[in-house]
Chain A
Amino acid sequence: MEDLKKFLTDKVLLSESDTLSSEADKVLSKIRREKSDNAVIFISSGTSSIIAGSEKTASAVQLYVDEKVPGTEIVRVGCTGPLSYEPLLCIQLLGKNKLFFRNITEEKVEPLLNGLFHNDINKDDLAGQQGTKGFEMWPGIPFLEDMPFFARQKRVVLNNCGCYDPESIEEFIARGGYRAFVKAIRHYTYEDVCNIIENSGLRGRSGGGYLTGLKWKQALNTTSSSRYLVCNAKESDPGAYTDRTILESDPHRLVEGIAIASYAIGASSAIVFFRRGSSHALNRLQKAIDSAREFGLLGHNILSSGYNLDIIIRKEPGAFVCGEETALISSLEGKRGMPQLKPPYPTTAGLLGKPTVINNVETLMNIPLIMQNGPEWFRNMGTEKSPGTKVFAIAGKGRLSGVVEVEMGTTIKSIVEDIADGIKDSKELKAVQLGGASGSFITSETMDIPVDYDVMKEKGIAMGAGGFIIIDENTCIVDIVRYYMEFIRNESCGKCIPCREGTGRMLEILDSVIRKPVSEDSGTTLERFKGVMQLETIAAVMKDTSLCGLGQTAPNPFMSALENFREEFEEHIFDRKCRANVCRGLRTFSIDVDKCTGCTACASKCPVNAIYGTRLQPFFIVEEKCTGCGICYDICKFSAIKVK
């Protein structure tokens, strides 16, 4: 082990030439498992895979291997991308292309491996083969790269995800890792690195799209004796999981990115502000930092360059608003995470009054790649003003979901139709929601918009950090707006009045729109109308007067929903009708006497005992008691429950 460490440090990391000796190359390809003497089985092991049952699959594979094909290597890798295929199993037989199998649950393992080791491949579970140079191709099996899900992507940031063991720094180095960092600290000055990143045109991937190189320079040009780099890995958007996937699949590159960024601004300590509840990702990142320290890539006088750096992880204590830069800093200082007035910007006076640069995970993941391949390479991808790629976490009602990476300039339409492969169950698309709780809706008419910071800003659409929610016709737009408003109301820090009161009032009004009408002749109808009239005014005031981005953008989902789906709001308000049949208060159920067999399934499950009847006779629902929960509707095997 010590020999390997010494070899990797001396012959690879400290090697002066760009090409390595053939002897070194041989060792590295062995580490990369390209010249393996045995078959290798890769099992995805991200949080999403574990929830889908990959750990059970892994133990089944282990059992099989120990018994039937000893010597076969089992590697736990990160997420390859398509969540819908989890648990994903990838098998590399001697000298042959990797084969990917989808949805391999525990019980499928034995028949699958039995067949595979006897040359009988189960085509039903097969996702495809991955073409790799120097490997023999499987005849008659489609290539994974030709699948629209992968073909329309440009995987640069994610290119390591799912390919290697995220807990092995050796393998990361064998894949070209840390060479950019070592080159930077040995041959470049702080300004050089800042210049390279500025020339590449990389923009912050957290949504604002500020030039990263420029931000660094602002911090570097201060006279302060110490500076801080903070990696914002908070990712609090309720529907995004890009950062977590990256951290679970390729934590070493993030460490390298943080190290280069810290060097560029002359910081000797870096802090990762970590999302709560992702303990799996946390362990992997901690392991990556520890092993980098072991290799002398972090710590005092790194590889005799005179540069010192240490990275610590801070777990966020749970407040959405801490994604905002100044609130994040307050939280790191041990105060309530409330935003402060800007200026001064964190780049001049941030953590403990020192210049602080805050970058998000995806931005930092791009840094080692730009340093390796040069700014020109990066500029050649994407659009002129927004070079590079963007990672999205597709979730919701698409046929395929998962973490994907597209070149800037790709249209939203192409992501929905090609990558996500359209809508589940042949439903109609209603909208795409970007930017999480403070984002806006894109409808099928405006879907031709490309992913580009400036074009989207012009149209008033926030790119967001990576949430990409596909909404189909079965989703009620008022309901989802209310969902986001409730989320923001709960997370508002309470410092400024427009946000604290505004979110509460807006939620109250939205609630009254979807609540069950008590009786139409009481005063509630009038109250409701009065409230609805004020929604737009409250939204406008919040946008103009809130202190931080959270409050300013909180009305966004509502405003954009109103703009695009006004008729649906009006239906809720005037006709008391929800066209998607989602709003509990507005739907009434009844039982079709011709279809009801009197099986009692609905009556026994009704939580409010609103269903009566005699066994084997048609049942009926007492409307006054019914809360509209819809359990009876879901449970009825004879489609006897009608919804109105």
Chain B
Amino acid sequence: MSKEIDLIIKKYKPGRREELIPLLQEIQDDNGHLSEEAIVKVGNFVGLSTTKIYGLATFYDQFKFIPSGKVSIKICNGTSCFLNGSKGVLDTFRDETGLSSGQTSRDGIFSYEIVTCMGGCNNGPVISINGEYTTHVKPEQIPDLIKKLRFVIEND
């Protein structure tokens, strides 16, 4: 783990603050989230305190600090999906799983994110499950969908 972080850090020049965000992005792309270790290492490398790095990373939606789940669920809440009823889908999802955007479920199965516009504006509401799109989603489909996904993961 720490080896991988070191390898990524090596590609950057030390002390250059403008490369801080791309560096954090690359670590997150590689690892799925920013671990405590990664933040401390990046802080030492760039020459900033860990608080500063953490403060920066929490400002942006992209950075995550807990490992992501096995199934990444993204529900679109762009204007077009909203007009086509994404609110019902979001509410049902929240009621079913108890998750809010950016969280991972305790069993480590689902990580959930609300995004604004994935580009399926004509086919909304759109859900992306590990990059596979489902279109024209209705709230009543959600409970079955979650049950099915959970079943697949638990029996894997």
Contacts and interface: CB of A to CB of B under 8 A. Distances in A.
B61 interface: yes
B122 A318 contact: no
A469 B18 contact: no
A238 interface: yes
A86 B122 contact: yes
A331 B21 contact: yes
Interface in A68-89: 83-84, 86
Interface of A: 46-48, 50-52, 83-84, 86, 236, 238-241, 244, 276-278, 314-315, 317-319, 331-337, 352, 393, 395-397, 401-402, 433, 436, 467, 469, 471, 475, 479-480, 483, 487, 493, 584, 605, 607, 629-631, 634-635
A244 B119 contact: yes
Interface stretch (B2-10, B87-95, B147-155): B87-95
Interface in B120-156: 120-123, 126, 133, 135, 138-140, 143
Given A244-B119, A337-B60, A239 B79 contact: yes
Contacts of A436: 79
A317 B82 contact: no
B95 A52 contact: no
Given A241-B117, A315-B25, A634-B140, A337 B80 contact: no
Interface of B: 16-22, 24-25, 46, 55-56, 59-63, 77-80, 82-83, 87-88, 91-92, 95-96, 115-123, 126, 133, 135, 138-140, 143
A609 to B, nearest CB: 12
Contacts of A318: 60-63
Nearest to B56: A336
A471 B92 contact: no
B140 A317 contact: no
B82 A314 contact: no
Nearest to A275: B117
A317 B27 CA distance: 13
B56 A84 contact: no
A401 B61 contact: no
Given A241-B117, A318-B62, A51 B82 contact: no
Contacts of A469: 79-80, 83
A318 B63 CA distance: 9
A315 B60 CA distance: 12
Given A352-B18, A469-B83, A475-B83, A336 B119 contact: no
Contact of B18 (A333, A393, A433): A333
Contact of A396 (B17, B83, B117, B139): B83
A241 B121 CA distance: 9
Contacts of B122: 48, 52, 83-84, 86, 395, 401-402
A52 B121 contact: no
Contact of A277 (B22, B60, B80, B118): B118
B124 to A, nearest CB: 9
11 contacts: A51-B126, A236-B116, A238-B78, A241-B117, A318-B62, A319-B60, A335-B56, A393-B121, A483-B79, A607-B95, A634-B140
Contacts of B56: 334-336
A480 B82 contact: yes
Contact of B61 (A84, A317, A331, A629): A317
B123 A238 contact: no
A631 B139 contact: yes
Contacts of A493: 59
A581 B145 CA distance: 27
Given A607-B92, A607-B95, A52 B80 contact: no
Contacts of A395: 79-80, 83, 121-122
A483 B90 CA distance: 13
Nearest to A312: B22
Given A317-B60, A334-B17, A629-B91, 13 more contacts: A51-B120, A52-B120, A52-B123, A86-B122, A241-B117, A241-B119, A334-B56, A469-B79, A469-B83, A480-B82, A487-B116, A634-B139, A635-B140
Nearest to B25: A315
A572 B120 CA distance: 32
Q: Which of B21, B55, B80, B120 has the most CB of A within 10 A?
A: B80
A45 to B, nearest CB: 12
A334 B62 CA distance: 14
Nearest to B62: A318
B82 A483 contact: yes
Given A314-B22, A317-B60, A436-B79, A51 B119 contact: yes
Contacts of A396: 79-80, 83
A538 B123 CA distance: 37
Contacts of B120: 47-48, 51-52
A629 to B, nearest CB: 6
Contacts of B119: 46-48, 51, 241, 244, 278
B121 A401 contact: yes
A43 to B, nearest CB: 17
A575 to B, nearest CB: 22
B18 A238 contact: no
Contact of A605 (B19, B78, B115, B140): B140
A65 B24 CA distance: 45
Contact of A317 (B63, B77, B88, B135): B63
Contacts of B82: 238, 480, 483
A624 B3 CA distance: 58
A48 B117 CA distance: 11
A629 B55 contact: no
A35 B62 CA distance: 48
Contacts of A86: 122
A631 B83 contact: no
B21 A317 contact: yes
A585 B143 CA distance: 22
A164 to B, nearest CB: 21
B75 to A, nearest CB: 13
A469 to B, nearest CB: 5
Given A51-B135, A467-B79, A630-B88, A238 B116 contact: yes
A629 B87 CA distance: 10
Nearest to A48: B119
A239 B17 contact: no
Nearest to B23: A334
Interchain residue pairs A-B with the least CB separation, the first 7: A239-B79, A318-B61, A51-B120, A47-B119, A317-B60, A334-B20, A238-B116
A393 B21 CA distance: 30
Contacts of B18: 332-334, 352
A157 to B, nearest CB: 19
A52 B135 contact: yes
Nearest to A484: B79
Contacts of B80: 239, 395-396, 401, 469
Given A52-B135, A401-B122, A631-B139, A317 B79 contact: no
Given A319-B61, A337-B59, A51 B133 contact: yes
A317 B61 CA distance: 7
Nearest to A479: B87
Contacts of B19: 334
Given A241-B121, A467-B79, A629 B139 contact: yes
A401 B92 CA distance: 28
A276 B59 CA distance: 15
